[in-house]
């Protein structure tokens, strides 16, 4: 009988040790899985947080002819907009006489803004008429993030480029 009691106690002790060992393994595995999922969630959060979308928003309408009528217009870009159905070709036209080039540079720049061509509002376009006397100069200048297009109606114009490369 004492052998049976000893064997029973031995089996009971062995089961208790196995149960404790298995429970410890399960806790270790659960802790390992929990750490892995936390790491995965943290990595996903960093990936999403580092994404940036940068773009200009779509315009509210294709063009906005500037008007001074505050009753019927929509306020966009510092000006009120005419109803697009009421826009005419004259809203996109400007006529100017030749500039006086009798100065030290021999040139005259006439800027054309939304005040002269009402249809330029919100289009992101800047215009200028430049009149040159023979051998006239336009001082070197830059247009950061901008483009300059020259149209020569008569004569020859020498131009150069300023780059940001060293």
- Indicate the annotated binding residues for Mn(2+): 141, 143, 148
Q: Find out whether 80 and 73 touch, Cβ atoms under 8 Å.
A: yes
Please tell me the distance from the alpha carbon of residue 66 to that of residue 98, in angstroms, as a whole number: 26
- Nearest 5°: phi and psi at 132? -120, 135
* Residue carrying structure tokens 């480029």: 161
- Nearest 5°: phi and psi at 87? -70, 145
Q: CB-based contacts of 139: which residues, under 8 Å, 6+ apart?
A: 105
Order of strands, sheet of 74-76, starting from the edge strand that comes earlier in the sequence: 66-67, 79-81, 74-76
Going by the annotation, the residues of the binding site are 138, 141, 143, 148
Q: Find out whether 61 and 82 touch, Cβ atoms under 8 Å.
A: no
From 119, 100, 122, select the one nearest 109 (Cα to Cα): 100
């Amino acid at each position: 009988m004492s052998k049976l009691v000893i064997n029973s106690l031995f089996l009971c002790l062995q089961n208790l040790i196995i149960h404790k060992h298995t429970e410890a393994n399960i806790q270790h595995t659960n802790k390992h899985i929990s750490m892995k999922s936390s790491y995965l969630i943290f990595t996903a959060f960093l990936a999403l947080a580092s994404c940036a979308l940068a773009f200009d928003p779509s315009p509210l309408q294709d063009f906005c002819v500037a008007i001074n009528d505050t009753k019927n217009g929509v306020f966009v870009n510092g000006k009120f907009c005419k109803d697009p159905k009421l826009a005419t070709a004259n809203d996109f036209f400007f006529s100017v006489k030749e500039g006086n080039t009798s100065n030290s540079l021999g040139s005259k720049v006439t800027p054309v803004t939304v005040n002269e061509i009402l249809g330029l509002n919100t289009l992101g376009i800047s215009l200028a008429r430049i009149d040159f006397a023979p051998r006239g100069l336009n001082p070197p200048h830059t247009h950061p993030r901008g483009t300059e297009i020259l149209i020569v109606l008569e004569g020859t114009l020498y131009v150069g480029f300023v780059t940001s490369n060293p």
